[in-house]
Amino acid sequence: MVQRVTIAPQGPEFSRFVMGYWRLMDWNMSARQLVSFYRRTSGFGRHYR
């Protein structure tokens, strides 16, 4: 199970997966690099072509 993070005393809660992607545009990657990263890290057993 993915650990959840509370971002304020009364919530809301987000999974660590969501928290990581929240800052996606700060990574200064090209669109192609972002798609490649997403495919490598979000598959969880699925295969992309």
Residue-wise pLDDT tens digits, 7-42: 788 888 877 666 567 778 888 999 999 888 878 877
Specify the DSSP class assigned to residue 23. T
Read off the pTM: 0.46
pLDDT band at 47 (very low <50, low <70, confident <90, very high): very low
Is the C-alpha dihedral spanning 3, 15, 28, 46 positive or negative? Answer: positive
Separation of alpha carbons 4 and 25, rounded Å? 22
